Structure formats: C-alpha cells, structure tokens
Amino acid sequence: MHCSWIIASRVHTIDELRPTVSTDKRFVRVRIDPFTPPQQDAYFNRPSSHAIGPRWQRTIGITAQTDGRTAQEIRERMDQLLRLPMTLWLIRKLCEVTPNGQPLPVFQTLSELALTVSRRLLQRALSNSATAVDEALKAQQVASPALDGAGKLRVLEHVLKLMAFQLMLEREYDGQIEGESRVEQFEERYKDRWFRELDIALEEKNLKPRKKLELEQYVQSAEYT
C-alpha cells in the first residue's frame, strides 16, 4: 500500500528541507502560478452568502463607466497584488461586509492596496496566533511585551516597513528572498536596523530603557506572529 504526501509551503521553506525532501527524486516539485485576471474574475463569481461578481472591481477604481482599455490598464497596474490569493480573499471580505448600495473602499494605487492588505493580514495574524506566540516566547524564555493590540500592530507595521526597505536595498523588487542562508541574512539585517533605531531613540531620550527592552522582545515575537 502506497501513501502519497503533498507538502505545500513557501519556496524558501522548502529549500530549508535540503538535503531531504527538496532533493529526493521521489518527490515531484511544482510551483503554482499566480492568479490570472480570468481566474481572479472566476473567484469573485463563485457563489457565496453575498453576490459579488464584477462589484469587486470598484475597489480598484473600475466602474460601469470605465472603458475596457482603462480597466485593463488599472488591473495591470495592480496585478502584483491581485495575483495573490490572500489579497483577493481580503477584497472579497470587504465586499461581503459592505451591503449593496453602500460605497466600497477604493484603492487608487498599488501602495494603498498594499497598506490595507498588509494591515488586515497583521491584524489577522495577531488574532489567530496570540496563544502560539506567548507559548513560543515562553519556550525561548523571552518575556511577553506589555503592548496592547494597537501597540503590537504599530510595531509590526514598522518592522514590515524595515523589511520592505531592506528588500529595496538588496534590489529584490519582487519581494522574494530565496534560500535558507539568504533568508537568515535578510532577517539579521532588518533586525539590526530596528535595534539601531531603538539605540538612537534611547540616546536622544525619546525612549525609556524599559520600553526599549519591551520593543526588543517584541521584535523577537514578530517572527512567531
């Protein structure tokens, strides 16, 4: 009797499994392509408790009055995020919680959509992983920082900005870091930048030592979040 295994993960995580799964010839390695525009439309046409259909396109500035060429240009401009299933899921949720007839939030630029999507993802991660984060910190003998939900979100958003800045420095404009050693090096660099910011704030007396320690601890918990 044969047993089939399917392992789904991000590229760099699969690479970390070397020399086991990723080089084992018994495993067939495939990489799923991003969603195409027709697949995006098909996703929003799926039946649910709320009919969505082309209504979702209003969130990126496409209305019934938008001509075909302009609509295509808008979708191409936003394609970097629209190709991601999680982004589509968030837009669908926005549509589902907004009753018909009420205006939907409109994202005029890729930056606005990225900001909203990243904030919703962080809020979701904070909610879903709160217990797991506390347990992971306890196992590492790291004190859980005394921050409320809004404080944690602000810190994580700042860490995300540091990660984006580091990606630009390394000219990884597609936002992808592949390979275990490169991922570790990337994490060290953006965390060093964060710790330097805290040191400067402490020297300029804009931050108290206790608060600095809490933020240092929380940046460690961010990787568990």
Q: How many domains does the chain have?
A: 2
What are the mean pLDDT values of the chain's consecutive 10-residue runs (225 residues total)?
A: 76 65 71 87 81 86 90 89 83 80 79 75 76 75 70 80 84 74 84 83 75 70 56
Which pTM value belongs to this model? 0.54
Q: Which two structure tokens, joined as six digits, stand for 108?
A: 């005029």
Query: Are 134 and 217 within one domain?
Result: yes
- Res 70: pLDDT: 93
Q: Which two structure tokens, joined as six digits, stand for 202?
A: 């402490």
Specify the length of the chain in residues.
225
Residue 27 lies in a domain: no
CA proximity to 15, closest of 183, 179, 181, 185? 179
**Distance of alpha carbon 96 from its chain centroid, rounded?**
21
- Res 67: pLDDT: 93
Asked if residues 216 and 53 have their Cβ atoms less than 8 Å apart, the reply is no
Query: Are 103 and 186 within one domain?
Result: no
Residue corresponding to tokens 């991660």: 125
Asked if residues 137 and 220 have their Cβ atoms less than 8 Å apart, the reply is yes
Cα distances (angstroms) measured from residue 46 to each of 2, 42, 53, 220: 35, 6, 8, 40
- Res 89: pLDDT: 84
CA proximity to 109, closest of 172, 66, 59? 59
Residue 3 lies in a domain: no
Query: Are 152 and 85 within one domain?
Result: no
Residue 117 lies in a domain: no
136: left (phi over 0), alpha (psi -120 to 50) or beta: alpha
- Res 182: pLDDT: 83
